[in-house]
Amino acid sequence: MSGTAVNRRTFLGLAGAGAVAIALPSCANQRSNDPNVIRYWGMGAADTDKDQAVADAFAQTPQGEGVRVDISQVPSSGNSDMSQIITAVRGGTAPDIWWIDRFNTVQSASIGLLEPLDPYIEEFEGVSAEEYRQQWVSFAVDELTYDGQLYGLPTSTDARGIMYNADLVSSIGLDLDMFDPEQHVLTWDELADIAERCVEIDGNGNYTQFGFAPWLDQGGSPYTYAFGKGAAVYDNDATTITMDTPEWLEVYELYAEWVERFPFARVDAFFATYQPPNAPPAQTVMFSERMVMTPTGPWQIQGNEKYAPDLDFRWTWLPVWNEDDPTYTWSGGQGLVFPRGTEVTRTKWEYMKFHAGGPGQTIIQPMLGNLPTHLQTIADGAYNPKAQFFADMLPFSTSRPPLPVGTAAWDALDRARQSVTLGSASPDEAAATAQAFVAPKMDLFPGFQMPDTYGQPIDLTPPAT
């Protein structure tokens, strides 16, 4: 053993070097002190060009002169896994502006993850938040409202319908007029008969062509059809979770009836074969003309144009239970928020306002294929003309209920649907389990009230300027 002093020095030296090595990278990700740099967690990698286009346009404005927007793609918009944003906020490395799945805003606000906008609207715009929010579709703003305060500005929205391959429909010998939204709204019974005629099976009993199943694509969540039955997750008057009502049972019974006609395992094998999990975006059962219809939304337009420009895809309404039932849909979308701890400056506010306002939405929504939430932008028709069918739905559309247990409710509905389609639970049992899962979580928010405007018809008239 050599001298103690040397060992001690070496030890202390190494410890010091280790501490510096740990400290340096963490410092590198701290929020920038440069007032002209905005750190932004934006859309996924495939859509970076849209975010960049908005940032470039902002740089051309007087407010954006000399401002740099650092765009990062972080694989979570808060939809299911919030570990990145929570860790970043706790570690002081959160972005200045975060592109969030709007549905999760209320939950994020309820856990203290976001900064309320009301004081900044009053400071920078000189109006109340109540007045300022009138520029956007009300259901979109409702999703960003918690405890009477606004926590973000909405960007895009959408709606849901049935996309069908018109050539396949014709080749099977089906009447195209039944799919024409101007002439007819399909009932579930009609759709089931049509789906039977679309099916082709090989010698081993595998589907090689398939028509439709309600649990596919956007139908995976019972929300999609719940709005057609008036099934609600939350009763604002009674302030209780209502996930086991007769309306929900009817939605689950719908799934159960379809599983009897089209066994889940066979449909699942069909999908795993022709559109396996994590398949590239061009490898879908619709693009390979293996499936005739699917419930989806206007975001699909971008993919259709990119990967299957020669296929004749058209849209019709979501099916109704009875012939005279009104049509229905629901809308999702995203928004921009300030994570907790953001030092909100006029520059950052101006960028958020630009991105979520008319200029940004005019640039970004036609590229995405989605719809704007900014009323003047909708009135200007600044979206892909092929999305007009969905734009016409907006006056009677609504969002998922803005609840602080939104993610839990979404999960519970998804699981209930899976239990029914896999046959492990009856509709009654599935609904009861969902209720038992979500109600205790909501009990932590006694007397919670959704905004009064939630679920009301939408007025798309832009406010007078």
Partner 1 sequence: MTGTTTTTTRDPGSDDRAVAPDPPPAAATGRKKLTKTQRRNLRLGLMFISPWILGLLVFVVYPVTYSIILSFTRYSGLLTPEWVGFQNYVSAFLDPLVSTAVGNTAFYAVLAVPIGLLVALVLALAMNRNVREVALFRTIFYMPSLIPAFAMSFIFIVFLNPQFGFFNQLIRPFGGADVNLLGDPTGIKIAIVLMAQLGAGNAALIFLAGLRNVPRTLYEAARVDGASRGRQFLSITLPLLSPVILFNLITGVSGALQVFTEAFIVTNGTGGPDSGALFYMMYLYRNAFGFAELGYASALAVLLFLVGMGLALLIFFLSRRFVNYDVNAA
What residues line the site for partner 1 (CB under 8 A)? 1, 4, 7-8, 11, 80-83, 86, 89-90, 107, 110-113, 204-206, 265-266, 268-269, 271-274, 276-278, 340, 405, 407-408, 411, 414-415, 418-419, 422, 424, 433, 436-437, 440-441, 444
Q: Which of 436/460 has CB closer to partner 1?
A: 436
Q: How far is the CB of 200 from partner 1 (least distance, A)?
A: 14
Beta strands in 142-201 (DSSP E): 145-146, 149-150, 152-157, 161-165, 200-201
Cβ-based nearer residue to partner 1, 46 or 422: 422
Q: Considering the complex, what minimum distance in angstroms separates the CB of residue 425 from partner 1? A: 8
- Between CA 192 and CA 190 the distance in angstroms is 5
Contact yes or no for 54/360 (Cβ under 8 A): yes
Min separation Cβ 86 and partner 1, Å: 5
Residue 220 Cβ vs partner 1, minimum distance, rounded to whole Å:
10
> 108: which strand partners?
none
Query: Which of 61, 273 has the CB closer to partner 1?
Result: 273
In eight-state DSSP terms, residue 346 is H
Residue 434 CB, nearest distance to partner 1 (Å)? 9
Shortest distance, position 439 Cβ to partner 1, whole Å: 11
Contacts of 247 (CB under 8 A, 6+ apart): 226, 229, 230, 231, 232
**With contact defined as beta carbons under 8 Å apart, do 234 and 399 qualify?**
no
Please say which residue, 129 or 438, places its beta carbon nearer to partner 1.
Answer: 438
If the CB atoms of residues 173 and 446 are measured against partner 1, the closer one turns out to be 446
Cα–Cα distance for residue pair 157/140, rounded to 1 Å: 8
| b/e sequence 19-45, b meaning 16+ C-beta within 10 Å | eeeeeeeeeeeebeeeeebbbbbbbee
Tokens 């719940």, residue located: 226
Nearer to partner 1, 274 or 349 (CB): 274
CA distance 290 to 328: 27
Which tokens hold the place of 157? Answer: 């929205």
Length of the chain in terms of residues written: 465
